[in-house]
Amino acid sequence: MVRHIYSCPLRWSDMDAFGHVNNVVFLRYLEEARIDFMFRLAPGDGSPSFSGGSVVARHEIDYVRPLVHRHAPVTIESWVTKIGAASLTIAYEVKDPAASNSNAVVYVRASTVVVPFNLEAQVPRRITAEEKSFLQAYLDEPGALAA
Amino acid sequence: MVRHIYSCPLRWSDMDAFGHVNNVVFLRYLEEARIDFMFRLAPGDGSPSFSGGSVVARHEIDYVRPLVHRHAPVTIESWVTKIGAASLTIAYEVKDPAASNSNAVVYVRASTVVVPFNLEAQVPRRITAEEKSFLQAYLDEPGALAA
Amino acid sequence: MVRHIYSCPLRWSDMDAFGHVNNVVFLRYLEEARIDFMFRLAPGDGSPSFSGGSVVARHEIDYVRPLVHRHAPVTIESWVTKIGAASLTIAYEVKDPAASNSNAVVYVRASTVVVPFNLEAQVPRRITAEEKSFLQAYLDEPGALAA
Amino acid sequence: MVRHIYSCPLRWSDMDAFGHVNNVVFLRYLEEARIDFMFRLAPGDGSPSFSGGSVVARHEIDYVRPLVHRHAPVTIESWVTKIGAASLTIAYEVKDPAASNSNAVVYVRASTVVVPFNLEAQVPRRITAEEKSFLQAYLDEPGALAA
């Protein structure tokens, strides 16, 4: 069970007038984690990364508990819950860093359907065998996020 | 079938480096529509509105087609798909204004679970009979957004 | 004395944790007013507008009084205070709409130095005679913004 | 010459449709650096920090060269250029981390006038002797930022 770990710094302005990190901002956090994750699909060769050539088709996001701005980053765990012919689904947990993941405080659970995209031709494209191989290492069940 | 209609102005900065309105920004648009909708629950009396005393528990959002910045606003139609004891579900369509809604271009379909919240006591609260009565006028099926 | 008038809608999320429109967000408002202003330099021909082919070289901004989110837009008056060979300076006032401008409540006074930019060649360029002619109609003194 | 050093992470969404960090976003970076700086004025006692009880009265910002999103943070150096009875001026340089500061690439130079604020009474207040003593350690000339 391999998971991508992203340490996500907060900004003071992520809070809204109620003094909590605004619900929309968590999608920004997921974007940062996802870009960091996908960037590893095309390392070193300088080509446009998978993250560049992809579009978001769908998000689901559950807010478990409120988060207040603080200097310590939150941890975002990402993994892959589905690999289709022309799409993949990423699941995430936004949580506190913890010695043991099993008891870390969770703020958000979410998932995103990503469609690889050929930016030049402006059309969706299929997932390559190489990409599939990379993604399979992160394949796991959706977990606590209700279907 | 009553729907709440919100005319949502875009900002140039809503676009990301790919030149489209960023997927996260659509959640901002929904927030604006939702606040405008809910504000009508507590009009005229100056009390904290329902929108103020509520939290977002969940979003689902489907991206149907890309949107580029323009001077004309988009239209956000909102309605209610579920009224629970202590939560309600709002559905939305982000679309072009159109003479007939049935053939308007749709950019996004989404839904949000909202939980009324007692800000003073910092606990969720039940939906009042008065609120339920208001919401029922907007009650309809989820529509094209897959469950 | 011709001034460009832009009616700028607020968003609830423009407020920060102190419950006021955040100081940084006012720069977003100025961006919207500036793009609307400059777009008029290249109307109708579909070419990349002046606003597209320009970069911000400098801002000065004075915060006169706090602004709280509301449904009514603020008015942004823009005019030109300096036309150089390869730059221009725009001044703004962010204020309430008013029957008479002279007694409208002012929230922010600011100015921006804009440099026209050749996006293809990635170099600054000189202001054309046609642009200068357009801009001169809006030329006025800096006003209450201290130099 | 003591300077406050803040390592500021970028977000992919800080870029605008031109593919550079948007000019407005740099003010967000300065906000983060300023909050980090001022937080040190009231450490340990849990009281509302100086940064909380203060308002921005003015910004000046010069854009020296464009910045593209990257995984490495930028460095923000902050220092104090003026301590008044009821305001202080902070200067900043946004730059690449460098072995020797004297030859680091600079992206932005800026300054902010901050007014300490009594949040309860909603009025500006004077700078205390203790605050002044803290700030004087960071007092320096404005540097390359033109007056």
Residue of chain B minimizing CA distance to A16: B52
Written as six digits, the tokens of B99 are 């003479």
Contact B17 D16 (CB under 8 A): yes
Residue A107 banded pLDDT, cuts 50, 70, 90 = very high
Sequence-distant (≥ 6) Cβ neighbours of residue C31 within 8 angstroms: B11, B12, B13, D23, D24
Residues of chain D contacting B22 with CB distance shorter than 8 Å: 13
Alpha-helix runs per DSSP H in chain C: 23-39, 129-136
Structure confidence by residue, pLDDT tens digits, A6-15: 999 999 999 9
Q: Please give the average per-residue pLDDT across C66-92, as a whole number.
A: 95
Calculate how close chain C gets to A27, using CA atoms only, in Å.
Answer: 15
Strand partners, A118: A123
**Chain D contact present for C35, CB below 8 A:** no
Q: Maximum Cα–Cα distance for chain A, whole Å?
A: 47
Where would I find the beta strands (DSSP E) of chain C?
4-8, 54-63, 74-83, 88-95, 106-118, 123-124
Cα distance between residue B107 and residue B65, in whole Å: 5
Q: Please give the average per-residue pLDDT across A117-121, as a whole number.
A: 82
Q: Residue A75 in 3-state DSSP? A: strand
What is the overall mean pLDDT for chain C? 87
Give me the pLDDT at residue A43, please. 53
The domain locations on chain C are 4-136
Sequence-distant (≥ 6) Cβ neighbours of residue C99 within 8 angstroms: none
Sequence-distant (≥ 6) Cβ neighbours of residue C90 within 8 angstroms: C34, C37, C78, C79, C80, C81, C111, C112, C114
Neighbours of D (≥3 Cβ pairs closer than 8 A)? A, B, C
Calculate how close chain B gets to A131, using CA atoms only, in Å.
Answer: 22
Of residues A56 and B133, more confidently modeled: A56
Cα distance between residue A81 and residue A109, in whole Å: 13
Whether the per-residue pLDDT at D25 is higher than 90: the answer is yes
Packing angle, helices A23-39 and B23-39, rounded to 10? 170
User: Among C123, C51, C61, C122, which residue's Cα sits nearest to residue C88?
Assistant: C51
CATH ID of D4-136, from 1.10.10.10, 3.10.129.10, 3.40.50.2300, 3.40.640.10 = 3.10.129.10
Percentages of chain A per state (helix, strand, coil), in multiples of 5: 20, 35, 45
**Chain A contact present for B96, CB below 8 A:** no
**Chain B contact present for D69, CB below 8 A:** yes
Residue A82 banded pLDDT, cuts 50, 70, 90 = very high
**Chain B contact present for C28, CB below 8 A:** yes
Q: How many CB atoms lie within 10 A of CB B30?
A: 25
Task: Name which of C16, C21, C23 to mutate to probe chain D: the one with the most chain D Cβ atoms within 10 A of its Cβ.
Answer: C23
Sign of the Cα pseudo-torsion (B26, B31, B32, B34, in order): positive
Structure confidence by residue, pLDDT tens digits, A41-63: 655 444 445 655 889 999 999 99
Give me the pLDDT at residue C98, please. 72
